[in-house]
Structure 1
Amino acid sequence: MTLKSLSLFVYDSAVFLLTGIPGQEDVHLWVSVPFCLMYVIAIVGNAVILFIIKTDPSLHEPMYIFLSMLAITDLALSISTMPTTLGIFLFNTREISLDACFAQLFFIHSLSFIESSVLLLMAFDRFVAICKPLRYASILTLIRKMGLVFVLRGVSLIFPLPFLLKRFRYCRANILSHCYCLHQDVIKMACSDITVNYIYGFFLTVTVVGLDSLFIFLSYVMILKTVLKVMSHAECLRALNTCVSHLCAVLLFYTPRIGLGVIHRFLKGSPPLLILLLGYICLFVSPLMNPIVYSIKSKHFRARIIRCCLCY
Structure 2
Amino acid sequence: MPSQSLETVVAEIAAEMAARPDRGQVATYIPELGRVDPNQFAIAVALPDGSVVCAGDCATFFSIQSVSKVFTLTLALGLAGDRLWNRVGREPSGSRFNSIVQLEHERGIPRNPFINAGAIAITDLILSGHKPREALAEILRFMQFLADDDSVYIDQAVAASEERTGFNNRALANFMKGFGVIENPVEYVLGVYFHHCAIAMTCRQLAKAGTFLAHLGKNPATGNSVVTAERAKRINAVMLTCGHYDGSGEFAYRVGLPGKSGVGGGILAVVPGKASVAVWSPGLDASGNSHLGRIALERLTARMGWSIFGAPADMGVG
* Fold equivalence (TM over 0.5): no
Higher alpha-carbon Rg? 1
Taking structure 2 as the reference length, what is the TM-score of the superposition?
0.31
